[in-house]
Structures are given as structure tokens and as C-alpha cells.
Structure 1
Amino acid sequence: MRNMYKILASQYDPIGYLTLFTTRARVIVQDLWKTKCNWDDVLEPGAIRDQWQAWEMELPALTDIQLDRCYTPLAVDVKPSSYQLHIFCDASERAYGAVAYLRAEDKHHHIHVSFVMARSRVAPKRQLSMPRLELSAALAGAQLCQLLKRELSLPVKYVVLWSDSTTVLTWLKSESCRYKVFVGTRVAEIQTLTEVKQWRYVNTKNNPADDLTRGKTLMELAQESRWRDGPPFLLSPPDQWPVHPATPPEDVSEYKKSTFCGAVAVDPEDPPDLSKCDTWEDLIMATKEHRDGAADTGDPPELGAEDRANIELLLYRRAQQGSFPDDLAALQAGRDLPRDSKLLQLAPEYDDFTGLIHVGGRLRQAEDIPKDSRHPIVMDPAHPITKLLIREYDEKLLHYGPERVLAEMRRKFWVLRGREAIRKHQRKCFGCQRWQANPDVPKMGDLPPARLRLYKPPFFSTGVDCFGPMTIKTGRRTEKRWGIIFKCTTTRAVHLDLLESLSADAYLMAFRRFVSRRGKPFEILSDCGTNFKGGASELHKAFSAMEPRLKEELSKQQVKFVFNPPKAHTLVACGRGR
């Protein structure tokens, strides 16, 4: 068997043109596995050995197989061509698969059909019915269609999928939920990958995929056939293609077993519509208006503590009557709960005073624990009243995590699958999503040129700003002083000085002391403070008043003043405040 797999795997066929030939070998290997032989066992004489030797003797004929890989010949005008993709599906008791053809038609109505790709599978060892095998073939065709639409670069106008099984075509036009698991899952996947209107009927005589299930020899593949050139009807106009025959009665063996499940509940109080209430408070007010018949005066109705408690009990009873009607009836009559009840694990108890179902347990003697905490009220997570309660607790706790909300609700209510219900609510809650979202940190921009002057002396580019005031004592007087800081934007070196005032003259004197000690900078960067603006304007006026010769000498030592945009320092201050 090892040598058989070696020979079979050595056949390289990426587009599946030799599928008719290799499928025969895979069927032989499947029959051999049924004999339960091992990898290194010698193949005994018999029908399987004769079939394999006959298949192996055809291998020298592989050199005679030729296939033109150009989809359209020179006789077809390529640019204005209309391309159509046709996929045929078929199945037999031993194999199933699909084959695709490209139909090209130019503006002169010259039609050419070319082979594109084929796929096949050996039928499973567990015997399936023919409709199920035909459905598996249709699924293989849908998957092949998705692959070709993704890989082909040609502008395919539309796709047509062909099947000779009327049962499969009827299934594809129906809802997948009506059928059993095997049929339902495959019908759903086919309906996802393709559209129902793309499927058409073709009889077995014109279905080239029928050759795939029967197999051919290499000598037959080397000759002209419908496998290589496609079915003849594709060369005709669409109005001459096969049409769907009369639909036979549908096979009901693949239908799911249907069971009617209904319940009748009568609510004598006819409470308000729950879908119109967005919050728990809205529901309480709507219930009071409906119960008391209050007129719509525009003002909210008055609600006392006793009225609120009675309305809440009414809503709890309504939720339990809608969620656990059988359990409620059994507990009221003193009978055991049904075996399929969702409340069996909670040891439920019925309270005659409130008319509610409570969780049982062994905490009846705990006098220090409130009754609602010892025996919480049972609620169904799918009921709208329970959803409003979860929303009320979530908003009251400021959209805390599910564990905190569940712990708070457990003080009074026992919600079935409560943790899951709270998480489901918080996934849809805008407030929870906003509080739990991660901040989006913006990317930082490029550094300015003043920060990147690596081979310049310190304070070549200098930023300047003032700070203070600071209170000092001069004799018996109390005066104010301000600090000024010069900072090298490249090396982060700092020069500090003291200002007697925030005037332009004081700034110029501090700047003069800075230049005498640290050297002349190339540029000064500052905000739009009046002292800096005044100092810059005075330097410019002094420079313009100098003699031309002196101007010429000092132009080489000119300092460039760079100011922030107006009010930019205000924005920075606000940012620090946050």
C-alpha cells in the first residue's frame, strides 16, 4: 500500500484535469483500506490488485495529455468579451465533485468554452443517500465558485451553477432550519457562498461532471470530449439551455421533527406594553398610570413608598408568570416540578403572601440576614422586565463590572445565568463601552529642527520663558522679583537669571548677561509675552538705526527671534491644568 500511495501522490495536477483518472485510483485505495491491510503488506492477487495494475499500466500515456491553457483563442476578440463562469456538480455512490468552465463571447457573438478547474472527493465509507451525496457535490461546487471568483482576474459577468438533482435544487430554495443537521448545515453554507438564482438544472446527458463520477482512461482524456471542451449547449444562446423540469414531491425524510409548543396566559390586569419602556422607572410610572387610570396632565404622577412596593411586586409576578407558568402552577398546587424545569437545582419555594417563587436553601434560621437575601426572587434573564432590572442596577452602580452588578442583584434577585445576562447587557450598553474603552494615544509628530542641532555649540537654539513672581525683602520693603530661564533645546542645558520687572529693558539686560556668559545664540524661541516682543522690537530698531558699516559687521552676528503662534501659550497652560 505504501508504494500505491507513492505512485498516486506523484501525479501533479493542480487544476484537476486528470481528476477522472486519479479518482479511479483513490476508489481502489478506499476498497483496499476496507480489507484492513497494513502499510507494508503485500497486495494479494484478486480484483483490487488487477484494477490497480490496469490503472498503473496507463501511466505512460500521460505524455499524450495536452491542454491549451489560454482561455480564449486568437479568433475571439478578448477586450470586448463577455465572460461567464459555469460550474457543474454531480455525485455517484463512489465519488462526487465539480468542474468549472469559462464561456467567452465577443462582440461578433463568437463563443468559446475552456476548461478552468475541477475538484473531486471520494464518497465516505459510511454509506450516504444519493440526495446527500448530490448535496455534498453542490457544496464542492459552491466552494470552487468562491475560489475562482477570488483568484480569476478576468471580469466575470455572472456565474451559473448546474446540478442534475431536483431534490438539491429544492433544498437550496428553502430555509436551512427546516432540515436535519447534515442537510441544514450544508444548505446554509451553500446559500452563504452563492445566490439561489445562480443555480440551474442540467440533465445527466449534458452534465460533464458525470464523467468525474464514472472515471475515464488516459487515452479517452487525450481525445476531444465534453470534459475538455465543455457541454455542447454552452455554445448556444441562453434561451436554448436546459430548463428545470416539473418539480417532484419533496422528500420529507430530511425534515426535522416538528413539535408544537404553546402556552396560554391570561393577564386580567392587562399591564402596559414593555417594549415602550426604556428604563425601570418608566415601567413603574406606566404601570401606575395604567392601574389607576391617571389622566395625561403632563406632570409625573405622585408615587408613595407603599405604592411603589406594590407595583414592583406586580411586575415581579408578571415576569414569573410569563417565564415559569408550569413551575408556578405546580408550586401553587403543591406538586413536584416537571423534570425538565429550569428551577430544579434551586429548590424553589412559593410565597403565598407575595405570590412569587423564591430560591430555597438552608438559611431559614439566619435571622440577621434579610429575607430577600436568604431567599431571593427567581427571574428569567430573557424576560424584558429582568432586562430593565439589569439596566437599572448597572446605571445605579455607574456601569461597574459584571461581578459587582451581579453581587448587588443577588441581594434580592436570583437571575438564571445572571453573569451571562449582565455581560450581554454591558456589551450593548453605551456607557459601559465608554468607561471600559482604552484611550487612543495619538502618535507624536516629528521633532522640530531646533531640537536636532547635534553638532552645534550649547545654546545655539535657545528657548526662553519667565516664571514667578517671588517675594523678597529689601530692608523693610517687600518687593517682587521674577525669574527668567534660558534653555538649550538640543542639550537641555539651563541658564537662570533674575528680573526686577517684566519690562522689555529688564529682559534685554538679562539677555545681554546671558550672551556675555554663554555666547550668542542663533535663534531665540519664546511665547508672545509683551516683554519678549518688546525686546525683539527694540533690538530690531537699534539694529536698523546703526551705521551701514556697522550693520554690515553685525549682520553676521544677528540673532533670530522665533515666537509661538498667538495664544499658543494659553493652550499649553490649559493642557497643564487638565
Structure 2
Amino acid sequence: MGARLAHKVMSTRNLRIDNATYWSDSKTVLQWLTMDPRNFHQFVMHRVAEIPETTLVVQWRWVPSKLNVADGATKITDQTQQKTWITGPGFLKAESSHWPTTTKQESFIDTSEIRKHVMTTRSRSAVTFNAHYFSNWRRLYRAVALILLFVDRLRARHASSHDDGPCEQGEDVTFIAFAEELKALSVGAAVHRGNRLVGLNAYLDNDGVLRTRSRLNSIDIAEDAIVLAPGCRITNLIVRSFHEKYHHLAYETAINDIKASFYISRLRVLYKSVRVDYFGPLLVNVGRRKEKRWVAMFTCLTLRAVHFEIAHSLDTSSCIMCLSNFMALRGLPKEIFSDNGTNFKTTEKAVREELKNIEHDKITIKFDGIKWRFNPPGAPHMGGA
């Protein structure tokens, strides 16, 4: 209140004030003004943070409680303070060198209002991460590498005083899918008859990775293939990376390249299901955060002209909006050729079933007269350009 009142007076027009001094008989408050207000509880934090906005810390001085005339309004005393209440204490008329000061540096700090940080820890049997958060294999690989590097640095820092033991394996779909097989192989037992790994000569290497011995093991030219579960997100990202490596062509070459490092059951079925509908994702700035966007590419099969549209996501709504934006600039196409992407299929179905009129965001889009043709499944070369 004192800082607010002084600021109001000093802001008055035609009133010149060169300096101001603020007095308090609370040494605790004077200590608080020299500390970071974020360390206090909410009530004290807001008030301590407001004072430096209009005053300087050096302008605050200490006054003994006996000379503090402000106490006359709240404390009962035997002495009359009518004069000092109006004119202030007598030392104010003297030079600043004669003003009261603390006799010694206060070493005691009142910590009753300082916010206490309580840290709790709990042990976990394994480190988990969400593989579905990553859109491609390279980003997932780099993220896991950074985590392992961070863990190694922490252990190196505490190696002299702590023994953390061996690193726990991360829990993903592969370990869940082969939980029974991993448990048997870890104790040296054989996989029972009828198991899906019984004919693969599966084993656990020194790092606990499930591998399978093949005929290449006899000539020692390559490492044994790593066994991956076909329904795992990580498996899907790895297959997609090979698919993109060969630019969605060279089907058999990509399959053989995958088999050189990984064993995936029903690999050909999985590989056919991996397609790139749009190119992307691209990271764009939205305010202070980054979001993923895709780009839909329209190619004229007559003139080879190319048109790009930004897609907010891979859903049907974004596909319809990209198509409507394209037609708004280029006109209504007679035929559309595309692969068998899910978003393309559902868009074509919506166009056909809604009588060629779709209301999207209160805008009626007319698709009457368009013939939508899909390429044969598993034939990306049918896309022409």
C-alpha cells in the first residue's frame, strides 16, 4: 500500500520529486525484497513482486519500532504521538548519514513463507515410451538414442557413489507379443511345439534381443535377423522406412533388404499395406507450437501441371477440403486417378452417396460429374506420373 501510494503521488503532474525513501521496521520484509519472489507462497509472492515494479531495493531502509510513527495508529502507547504523526520522526530532518541503520548484518532468514519443493520418486520395472507418437523410423531411432545417451551420462556422473544395476529393457509390442517365448529362452529352455518360433532357431543375444539363426550364419557374412512382431508400431515404421528408401518402387528389392536385417511374419502382406497418400508430414509453426501438416499433390495427366494443397490431417474431411480448394482454382475435373488410400476411398464414397453435394463447414461443395478411378491394389506404377 505504501509503494502504491508513493507511486501515485510521484506520478502527479507539476510535482517534481527527485528521490523517495521507504521505511519499514520489519527486517524480514526487507530481506524478502532482495530475494526472488517466485520462491515464496502465492500471497507473499504477488506482493513482493509488485513492490520492485515501482520502487528500487536501495530505496528501502530499516527504522526501529520505537521510532516508527506508523505504529501509532495500531498500537496503544503511553506517549502522545500527535506531533510525530504529522511531521514524522525527528531524524528525518538530519542528514542521511545520521539515519538509523541495522547494527549488524542479519544472517537469519525467515523461511516460513518460502515455498517448499517436495520431490517424490518411485521405481519402475521398465522404461516405457509411446511409439505411436513418432511418424517415421528415423525420428524414433534418434529419440531412443538420445534417451540412452542421457541415461549413460547420468550413470557416469553417479558411478562413484551409486550402483544402478543393469538397464531395464523398454516395453513395447514386440516384448508383449513374444512374452512367453522370451521367458522360455531367457532360462535356456526350448520353445514348445506348435509355437510360431519353433522352426526359426530363435535365441536371445547378449543384449537381450530376440534373433533367429539362418543359413547365412554358416558363412558369417551378416548378423542374425532380429525377430519383430507384425502388429507392432515399430515394425510398421521400419517397413515404411524401407518403402520410402526405394521410393515406393522395387517391391522385391525392398522385401529382400528387410529380410537381411529383420524377420517379420507375413511381411509381404504388411508391406502392401504401407502406402504414402500425401507427402509429409511437414512441421509448421502455429503460434508458439509446431504442428504436422501434409501436402496433397494433384498432377494433370495431360499437361503434367502440378498443384499443391495443404492438408490439415490425413482424414476424410481434410481430403474433401483439399479437393474443393483445388476445384475452386482449377475447375471441375472429369476424372480423378488415385491409389487405394483410406482417405481417398472414404472421400469417393462420401461424394457418391451424398448425391454429389457435401456440406463442409457450412459450405456446400458440388462434385457432380466426377469419375473417381482407383489404381489396382499393389500396383503403384499405375499412377502414371
TM-score by length of 1: 0.25
TM-score (norm 2): 0.36
